[in-house]
Structure 1
């Protein structure tokens, strides 16, 4: 929204900007000046609001908080008509709105998000009172708000992308029906024109190209490939169920992702100086970092949406060679039961063993003797373990980081899955593309161990565990928006809907600061 700089508003703001002694307050209203921080214990002084032009810029800037991902309606910006009818109340309301907006720009609209231990903020590093004092004394408060809005890392690039996505989201489109794949070269008089129109909303090259009508032509295929690459999908030009699902999602979803990305970066704590493991779950990427320096990076597989990897901050303490897998009850019930029903012999050949408890003792049962068809999917009465081996779900390495969710990092025999750009396939744990490289980094500070000795331990096929000489912090975090070199913004799908939940929290976050500041100013 832009403020209309009508002469009437300018005249009203001129009245508000005038010194208190020069104001003619409405009957029953005392003129109020904005307080300045007390100096050396002296009584607070008073400073007039800035001149009319600066006030116009301030009101205009508050009404443009959308460009920062904030909603101007949350800040109680006083109506311009109040400037003429009640200058004192207008001054109080305008300062309170400005202070609340400044506070959110500095500290984040959402100060605390339950279930998100991955969010690292350091509010103590910001002297918010100094900013509020400057707001009360500066001749150009709009410039101060601009400065606060650009504090987060990558804020300029994120704001530019937010403006672009808002413009895209304003363009209506019709959903693409059906889930069957649309292949290059196909003729589909219903879905191909809808696909072309949808991609053209964000692809100016396609929008300017000749319309091939119902034919899925090479120009449209190239545009689809660009779109798939930008959205972290398999770049093959085939428009299947996953691509159609993302194309049909509301365009406002990416607007919200950018708003969340800006807010999460506000008051973000600086990265720890010590060596650490960072796993960005929706980006399917693990990094070993030391300060700002990247030591190692690799692709990972994370939990699928119905078995989401939990966000957490823990420490990696031990390494297990040739680990067996104690299958969780849910995995046994939902994943293994159908396979036991089909072919229990094949399950035995893959190293799966079945146990029951008799007289308080665990006893092994031959899975070929069990009537698997009589077992329902609601309760699994056995314990299942998979022995270490080439076909083990955990591969040859398990990285132990104690936590209540039984989440760990591990190797995997399913190497082909790392070729896919979308890699949410696990039951919650993190599968590593290059587990041996992570092992080598961890052994650097483990006395008596080096890479050759570890490789011998792996080759022995015996299960063993070593404690690391120095545990490493591990953070499983959720960041769908990355600012890359040159300011390019890359947006990953919100696979667990955590950005959507954060956006809802931004809409409902209480702000007692507004009322508190209004009372403070009025005293």
Structure 2
């Protein structure tokens, strides 16, 4: 049974469990019907194996012996454990109704013939596999919901999943299917707490004001006070003035929601404060689905980089701990400029990089001006297919977006669009992390200004952290190359997995749950797809 401190009140559905045991505890006459000779049952199983090929393979390998519907305590315990897990699937944000635990119970209690028992046997295995895949790898196919999510669910071997039930304690096997990350555990706890909050009436009335600040009084201040109290940002009190206590609470709320931290409840802050707990609960359930998509065999890497596009930060993680964190700028909200989500492996960094201009920028932004004036954008070299610089004097008026045969690049230097260093994890999307001369953009709370790549506020410090395992003095090593001004590739002796992710809800080891704006609208699309798949809010069940 899962620890109640993690999942809340994990309720045993007693009627379901009693019905689950019917095959093992039926009266003697019924037992006789259920315990038909092995040969008819095996034959019936073989004849009913027309669904999941993995299930068919598993049963052929075991000579069509039952996994679930045999007689005795072992089989009864397996059925009970499965039905219990299915009945409580919504604790994980899964569509419990789609597994139809009550329907399986009805079929089990009615099974008398070998054919009926075989059909139940296969249905139990197929339902178990569907549940196991959903809880381990996610309900949705990510790219089918949002095309910019360039990742696939991490599939598990079906034969191995069935074999685990056959060889182990079914209740433990089922309990261990969920991702074992601390983030998933904390998200489950957050889900339970939000459900309880909603069942008790939520966070109270929204705050009706355009802006509130220190010294203000009135009904809106009282509403803000009450809402901050129910959100646990402020201890209960009867004050009616926007005082120092309220300003401190607002600052903490702003920090937890990625807002400008100034202690003033302006439009953005009040908009976030007025978001109902039901919407936050949806964000948490989406985050749990996203955590399942990253439930990779072998993990995400002892050392890895995570970029949360919705949080505008990049982090270096070592053995589960954040060892470096910096602000980032990500792709613009325009659909063709949004940063994609995927995982790859960082292999090297380039110090004093050239910037090779993406083809889309060349033909959409630069070529129109160069057709009128061949010396437009003269800070960029025009390069032919052999890498030679093209003489601009011949002009470009005869070319259009389809026929322009050249590429363009910017030399290394302080004004280079990539700054002084870029971090490469070769991928088909031509996305990487890099420096930028546009440092002023990092002061914004919403940082969606790039064409898709990830700009870092502190790229040199990031480079030092990456080089630390292979250089005794990584800063001196990096700076010695930088000062030459020469384009230099530095391999990483230890390749580092990079995960570009997008979380509007995420947790911390210590402190409050963090929420961010859905700047790309992706989590909204994922929630709608989850709802279409049968996921529902457990309102009133907290």
Normalised by the length of structure 2, the TM-score is: 0.65
Q: C-alpha separation between the residues in 1 aligned to 2:433 and 2:364?
A: 23
Structure 1 counterpart of 2:161, from 111, 122, 128: 128
Matched, 1:184 2:231: no
Matched, 1:308 2:338: yes
Q: C-alpha separation between the residues in 1 aligned to 2:320 and 2:65?
A: 44
Q: C-alpha separation between the residues in 2 aligned to 1:211 and 1:101?
A: 54
Deviations 1:149-181 (A, max 9, x none): 474545443322110122234535555567x54
Change (3 A) 1:60 1:468: closer
Q: Secondary structure at the match of 1:282?
A: coil
Deviations 1:232-255 (A, max 9, x none): 323222223432343344533332
Q: C-alpha separation between the residues in 2 aligned to 1:5 and 1:146?
A: 18
Matched, 1:221 2:221: no
1:321 aligned residue: 352
**Deviation for aligned residue 1:67:** 1.4
Deviations 1:282-334 (A, max 9, x none): 34333445665766443333234334222232544451416568487669989
Matched, 1:86 2:110: yes
Q: C-alpha separation between the residues in 1 aligned to 2:218 and 2:176?
A: 52
Structure 2 counterpart of 1:282, from 297, 310, 320: 310
Superposition RMSD on alpha carbons, in Å? Answer: 5.4
1:70 aligned residue: 94
**Greater mean alpha carbon deviation, residues 221-230 or residues 282-291:** 282-291
2:489 aligned residue: 466
Matched, 1:475 2:503: no
Report if the CA contact (8 A) 2:256-2:512 is conserved.
no
Deviations 1:438-481 (A, max 9, x none): 4445667999x975575355446x56343537584552421525
Structure 2 counterpart of 1:163, from 192, 198, 217: 192
Q: C-alpha separation between the residues in 2 aligned to 1:288 and 1:126?
A: 36
Q: C-alpha separation between the residues in 2 aligned to 1:15 and 1:325?
A: 69
Q: For structure 1, list consecutive stretches of 5 or more residues without a partner in the other structure.
A: 338-346, 366-382, 511-523
Q: C-alpha separation between the residues in 1 aligned to 2:364 and 2:441?
A: 23
Matched, 1:299 2:299: no
Q: Secondary structure at the match of 1:398?
A: strand
Report if the CA contact (8 A) 1:279-1:287 is conserved.
yes
Structure 1 counterpart of 2:457, from 433, 439, 464: 433
Q: For structure 2, list consecutive stretches of 5 or more residues without a partner in the other structure.
A: 1-9, 46-57, 369-375, 383-388, 395-406, 535-542
Report if the CA contact (8 A) 2:346-2:496 is conserved.
yes
Report if the CA contact (8 A) 2:137-2:155 is conserved.
no
Report if the CA contact (8 A) 1:154-1:487 is conserved.
no
Q: C-alpha separation between the residues in 1 aligned to 2:304 and 2:432?
A: 15
Q: Secondary structure at the match of 1:203?
A: coil
Structure 1 counterpart of 2:433, from 402, 409, 434: 409
2:30 aligned residue: 23
Q: C-alpha separation between the residues in 2 aligned to 1:12 and 1:458?
A: 72
Deviations 1:83-142 (A, max 9, x none): 89836679939946862564146533336422434567362499201234369xx6xx55
Q: C-alpha separation between the residues in 1 aligned to 2:428 and 2:151?
A: 16
Report if the CA contact (8 A) 1:398-1:410 is conserved.
yes
Change (3 A) 1:150 1:409: closer
Change (3 A) 1:47 1:450: same
Structure 1 counterpart of 2:231, from 198, 202, 208: 202
Change (3 A) 1:499 1:442: same
**Greater mean alpha carbon deviation, residues 489-498 or residues 60-69:** 489-498
Q: C-alpha separation between the residues in 1 aligned to 2:61 and 2:462?
A: 56
**Deviation for aligned residue 1:260:** 3.4
Q: Secondary structure at the match of 2:142?
A: coil
Q: C-alpha separation between the residues in 2 aligned to 1:282 and 1:256?
A: 16
Matched, 1:116 2:139: no
Q: C-alpha separation between the residues in 2 aligned to 1:502 and 1:153?
A: 22
Deviations 1:4-58 (A, max 9, x none): 757xx88866645425754289xxx978999998798555152357799997886
Aligned residues: 469
Change (3 A) 1:386 1:133: same
Change (3 A) 1:211 1:320: same
2:298 aligned residue: 270
Report if the CA contact (8 A) 2:410-2:416 is conserved.
yes
Deviations 1:175-216 (A, max 9, x none): 5567x5433333464x5455445434422745x22152xx53
Q: C-alpha separation between the residues in 2 aligned to 1:314 and 1:123?
A: 22
Report if the CA contact (8 A) 2:17-2:83 is conserved.
no
2:53 aligned residue: none
Report if the CA contact (8 A) 1:20-1:48 is conserved.
no
Q: C-alpha separation between the residues in 1 aligned to 2:80 and 2:181?
A: 26
Change (3 A) 1:78 1:41: closer
Q: Secondary structure at the match of 2:102?
A: coil
Q: Secondary structure at the match of 1:23?
A: helix
Report if the CA contact (8 A) 2:464-2:474 is conserved.
yes
Matched, 1:500 2:529: no
Q: Secondary structure at the match of 2:228?
A: helix
Deviations 1:398-438 (A, max 9, x none): 34454444433222334455456654443422222322234
